[in-house]
Amino acid sequence: MKNSKYVLLGLSVFCLLLIAVTSFNNGILAPLRTGVGYFLIPIQSGVNVVGESVYNNLKDMATMKDALAENEELKSRVAELMEENNRLQEEQFELARLRELYELDQEYLEYEKVGARVIAKDTGNWFQVFRIDKGSDDGIEVNMNVMAGGGLVGIVTDVGANYATVRSIIDDSSNVSAMSARTGENCIVTGDLMLFKEGRLSLSHIRKDADIQEGDKIVTSNISDIFLPGILIGYATDLTVDSNNMTKSGYILPVAEFDDLKEVLVITRVKETGDVEE
């Protein structure tokens, strides 16, 4: 490109000289002007072509540089917008979760509660045992009930100064004394991680003639040693008479979601009837 500039400059000077020669009116120079004209016209055309090509190349290079700069600017702006969009989505999800906790808090106004964030969990797909960021410094005690997602999640099993461990109702070692919210008929909700792969827990120890029906709300019972009464666990389903012909059993669809717990409510009251877990 640099050499092209010099070539163009040389051709331009040469053309100016030829034009000067052709401008003389002397008859002696007429043949020379005619010959120069035949020679000059193609040269001028060539110079015009070369000049236009150089100009277009320079223009294209400038346009390309502008386009590249604009492209980098647009990429940067797109990255900023994506980051902003992700942040807004996360804030929206958090707001929805907090609104859900607020509604849950309002539903159980008879119980004082403390909000807490989930900060760790055991390995596995679900939150069968997890840790929260509130402890004894916040008034948390062992056997306090934990709620989220519309109902019962589990119970506090261990407490430190600034943390507490919660065992959820889906854990294999969990048993909850429950009852039908409609009739008060008693039953037992048993944790089972293998069964929870289907989104269900075991519902058992139901009298054969007990009035517990498909779709009944199942809540914590009055006779539980550690779970406070009336907290929603889930809904009864697939009830059948057992082989002993004396009891019924089935399943419960829990209302809480145990695959993505982020915030919970801890009821800051321990049931006074005992400290032995069912």
Which pLDDT score is estimated for 48?
Answer: 59
Residues 214 and 128 in one domain: yes
Same domain, 186 and 166: yes
Residue after which a domain boundary falls, among 107, 132, 153: 107
* C-alpha distances out from residue 50 to 4, 18, 36, 208, Å: 9, 18, 20, 101
The answer to whether residue 277 sits within a structural domain is no
Q: Same domain, yes or no, for 127 and 220?
A: yes
- Report pLDDT for 278: 43
| Last residue within a domain, chosen from 107, 141, 162 | 107
pLDDT of the residue at 277: 42
**Long-range contact list for 185-192, CB < 8 A, 24+ apart?**
185/210, 185/211, 185/212, 186/210, 186/221, 186/223, 187/212, 187/218, 189/218, 189/233, 189/234, 189/252, 191/128
- Do the beta carbons of residue 187 and residue 218 sit within 8 Å? yes
Residues 224 and 176 sit within 8 Å (Cβ to Cβ): yes
In terms of domains, do 147 and 225 share one?
yes
CA distances from 258 to 47, 158, 170, 233, 264 (A): 79, 19, 8, 13, 11
- The confidence score (pLDDT) of residue 18 equals 62
Does residue 60 sit in the same domain as residue 191?
no
- 199 CB contacts (<8 Å, ≥6 apart)? 253, 254
Q: In this structure, are 101 and 196 located in the same domain?
A: no
On whether residue 11 sits in a domain, the answer given is yes
Q: How many domains does the chain have?
A: 2
**Phi and psi (nearest 5°) for 31?**
-60, -35
pLDDT number for residue 64: 77
HSE-CB at 20 with a 13 A cutoff on CA atoms is 6
Strands of the chain (E only): list them.
Answer: 113-121, 129-132, 145-148, 151-159, 164-168, 175-180, 186-190, 201-207, 217-220, 232-241, 247-254, 263-267
Q: Which range of residues forms the domain containing residue 133?
A: 113-267
104 near 150, Cβ under 8 Å?
yes
Q: Are residues 103 and 130 in the same domain?
A: no
* Averaged pLDDT in 10-residue chunks for the chain of 278 residues: 61 65 54 55 59 65 78 77 69 64 81 92 88 95 94 96 96 94 95 92 94 94 92 96 93 92 93 54
Contact status, residue 111 vs residue 269, Cβ threshold 8 Å = yes
Q: Provide the token pair at 22.
A: 């052709």
What is the pTM for the complete model shown? 0.66
Check whether residue 155 and residue 247 sit in a common domain: yes
Measured distance CA(15)–CA(90) in Å, rounded: 71
Q: What is the CATH number of the domain that holds 216?
A: 2.40.10.340
